[in-house]
Amino acid sequence: MELRSTVYRHLVDHGAAPSRQHLTELVGDVEETDALLAELHDRHLLVLDDRDGRVGNIRMALPFSNDPTDFVVTTDSGRWWANCAWDSLAILAALRIDGRITSTWSDTGRPVGLAVSDGRLVDARGSIHFAVPAARWWDDIVFT
Amino acid sequence: MWTLTQDWYGDRLDPDYSPASIETLQALLDGVGLTDAFWNLTA
């Protein structure tokens, strides 16, 4: 079983990443599961959670967030949280389907909506702010 | 941004996904005009 692919498939199908417990049941061994997840985390293919009560679970499978965020992506097939504005677009790009993004403008607090229709971004106005230089994105990916 | 995003993330869900090299990703940024030092992927 290719764990990364399994995680992403579960996330797409269910709107959330599989739990560490679920993955352990699939893999059959908790130590092997943790080792596989740690390797994926070290290779920046997943982001594991280090918060109390959630250690070892998946926090992010970029561009998807496993926690509720202000960036919600909705398609006819499902609904997912993104980590940021760029990840919102990235979810639709990764799914290769049309959909809608809802969020809030950070400067005004007003709601913002974007849509991809027929594979094209519709009426795209505004900007995405990148606060962290690219070389440092993975210094603290949760902050980024 | 949309074009960049499609190129950057378009294959993320492929079962055979393999991360692109830094050089490939840098070329994607360059290709959409993000050539300022801020966008350098390597320190």
pLDDT of residue A114: 87
The answer to whether residue B2 neighbours chain A at the CB level (below 8 Å) is yes
Which of A34-43, A133-142, B30-39 is predicted with the least confidence, judged by mean pLDDT? Answer: A133-142
Q: How far is CA A96 from CA A61, A70, A91, B12, B36, in A?
A: 17, 22, 8, 10, 29
Token readout for A97 is: 């389907």
Cross-chain residue pair A94–B13, CB shorter than 8 Å? yes
CA distance B15 to B6: 17
The answer to whether residue B36 neighbours chain A at the CB level (below 8 Å) is no
Which of B2, B8, B41 lies closest to A124 in CB terms? B2
pLDDT of residue A112: 82
**Mean pLDDT across chain A, nearest whole number?**
91
pLDDT of residue A91: 97
In 3D, which of A94, A90, A84 has the Cα closest to residue A137? A84
Q: How many residues does chain A have?
A: 144
pLDDT digits (tens, 9 = 90+) for A50-102: 999 999 999 999 999 999 999 999 999 999 999 998 999 999 999 999 999 99
In 3D, which of B20, B21, B40, B42 has the Cα closest to residue B30? B40
Q: What are phi and psi of A60, to 5 degrees?
A: -140, 145
Q: Is residue A1 pLDDT above 70, yes or no? A: no
pLDDT digits (tens, 9 = 90+) for B15-43: 999 999 999 999 999 999 999 999 999 96
pTM for the predicted model, two decimal places? 0.88
Residues of B in contact with A135 (CB under 8 A): 40-43
- A 54-73: CB under 8 A from B: 62-63
